[in-house]
Every structure is written in structure tokens, then in C-alpha cells.
Structure 1
Amino acid sequence: MALLQIPSIKNATAFHLERWRKVCANPSLQRLPNRIETNRYGHIVLMQPPGFSHTTRQSAIFAHLMTSMPPGASVEVAVLTEDGIKGIDVAWISGGRVKRGLKDDVLTIAPEICVEVVSPGNTRQEMENKRELYFAAGAEEVWFCDQKGALHFFLKGSEASAAKASALCPSMPKRVKL
């Protein structure tokens, strides 16, 4: 006997992509200055606009990826995770992965490199959760840029402890300056 007469989600990918289409098509949400993500239930999560330090570090990481890697660097990348659609600050993704995973302007496979620039409001638990989500979605590396500009590289296969450098982009500096 069912206690609730609420339909269950049969296809999580289809559910999240449809929910994301509705979020992106909503004129009221388009006018907000906030970055928008969704959670595992399809609920909207508003993120405050990033500050100057955040965007400057984001830009520096993006610029390095643009000049040292084959084409594939991007910013503010929407990716489907087990916890809804998240916006990755900086990413590098190969063309083959884009072809396999891009659906309705959302990646259903995480980029090879996912970079998060830590903001003052982020918690350790939140960042560890993002690392787990990106690896579960297929990332090869997850990088964190802390508030002092130090980069922390986490590699697939040893996700819990930081590596000394990126395996995919070994020329990436260990620190990003403002």
C-alpha cells in the first residue's frame, strides 16, 4: 500500500534535464544576478554572485588551460550529477566527451578536469561533496583553488588525498595570483 500518491522518478537523467530546461526558460530566473543550480530533487539552489578574487582566479586558471591544453577549456559548465545540475567554475573537456555527454546544453558526463574556486561561504563538507559528485559523474581530476590561491589537485583513483600536480595538465602552477 502506497502512503503517498506521488509519482516516483523513473529516469533521473530525463527528470533533471527537463527540470533544467524549465529553469533556464523561466524569464524571472533569467533576470536574477545569481548563479543557479539544482539539487537531487530538482529544487532551485541560488548561489551568490562570485567576488572579484573568485573571478580573477577563475580567469587565470581558464587562461592557463586555454594556452597549455588542446581546445576544451570552459567556464561555468553545467553538469548533471547525482545531486542535480551543478555549475563547475572552470573545466577542461575533450571533444569526444562533449559529443558523448552533451544533452540540452548540459553535460551528462563530467569534464575530465573540474575546477572549483573556493568562496568565503563554502564549507569543507560542501567542497568534499562536490569532489565526490564530480568523480562519480566521470571526472578524471578535480581541482580546488583555495582563498589564498593555492591549487589542490585530486586525481581519479586517489580521490581522497591531494596530489602534487595535475596528471592531465602538469604545467598548471600550484598557486594562482590575483
Structure 2
Amino acid sequence: MPTTATAKEEHQKRWQEIVADPLLSDLPYKTETNHRGQIVLSPCRFSHSQLQRAIQKKLNAITAGGEVFPKCPITGKGVRQADVTWASESRVGEMEGASDPSTVAPEICTEVMCGPGGWDEMEEK
């Protein structure tokens, strides 16, 4: 995929194709795309979900004037789904106006580290 401004549009178009594909709708994995638009599947364990929930609870407790979102898709070098995000009310408005998936990221994006990717995968995200 190109790395120009149109690359984000291409990633968004590819993401819409993936979301609309009935064969992919019930996969038990976190689904993302890489910079080439290829599907990347990440199987999750229950412990991963427990940590996501703990982060959601903590963000709800310490933040105000915004919203917490699980698995928020964000367009960048592909489409990544941050495990848990927080966005202010004004940022939510920006995100809603920036296509789907959004090209505007929430102010807080968190990832639960699991699996073989480790720190290399975290730095890429």
C-alpha cells in the first residue's frame, strides 16, 4: 500500500471490506491490518480481557469529561485496535468526523502486552 496521504483512505477502505465480510465477522481474534493492508489476527486469552477491563475501570475512575472505548480501531500504518482508549468529548467529536475507522486517535491509547510480539510489536503500535 502507498505511504502517502491516500494510504489512510486505502486502509479505511480495506477495513470496511474486512468489517463487511461475513466470513470474518465471527472470528474469535482481535483483527487488525498491517501497513500493507494484510489482515493480522491476534488470539486473546481470558487474562487479556481481564486486564482490559481493569484498565477500563481505572480510566473511568480517574478521568472526567470523556469516554472509555474498548477495541477502538485507528487508522495509521494499517488499522490497529487499541485495547482500551479514552477520548475527551471534543476528541470524540473529531473522531466521529474523521471517517471510519478514525484517522484521529484518542488522547489515551493502551495495549495489553501478550503473546510473542513483545516490545517490538508495542513500539510499532
TM range (shorter): 0.7 to 0.9
Taking only the aligned residue pairs, the percentage that are identical comes to 35
**Does 2:14 match 1:19?**
yes
Which position in structure 1 is the counterpart of 2:60? 66
Count of aligned pairs: 122
Of structures 1 and 2, the larger Rg is shown by: 1
Contact 1:9 1:15 in 2 (8 A): no
**Larger helix percent:** 2
For residues 71-82 of structure 1, the aligned pairs below 5 Å read 71-81=66-76
**Aligned-partner Cα distance in 2 for 1:72–1:27:** 29
Q: Which residue of 1 aligns with 2:107?
A: 112
**Runs of 5+ in structure 1 lacking a partner?**
1-6, 131-178
Q: How high is the TM-score relative to the length of structure 1? A: 0.63
Aligned-partner Cα distance in 2 for 1:96–1:59: 24
> 1:30-72 CA deviation, whole Å, 9 max, x = no partner?
0211111011111111111x21221111101101111221231
Residue 79 of structure 2 is aligned to residue 47 of structure 1: no
CA RMSD of aligned residues (A): 1.9
Contact 2:8/2:78, CA 8 A, preserved across alignment: no
The 1:16/1:120 distance shift into structure 2, 3 A limit, reads closer
Answer yes or no: is the 8 Å Cα contact 1:35–1:47 preserved in 2: yes
Q: Where has structure 1 moved over 6 Å in runs of 4 or more?
A: none
Q: TM-score, length-normalised on structure 2?
A: 0.87
1:141 corresponds to? none
Gaps of 5+ in 2: none
Q: C-alpha separation between the residues in 1 aligned to 2:101 and 2:7?
A: 14
**Residue 56 in 1 paired to residue 81 in 2?**
no
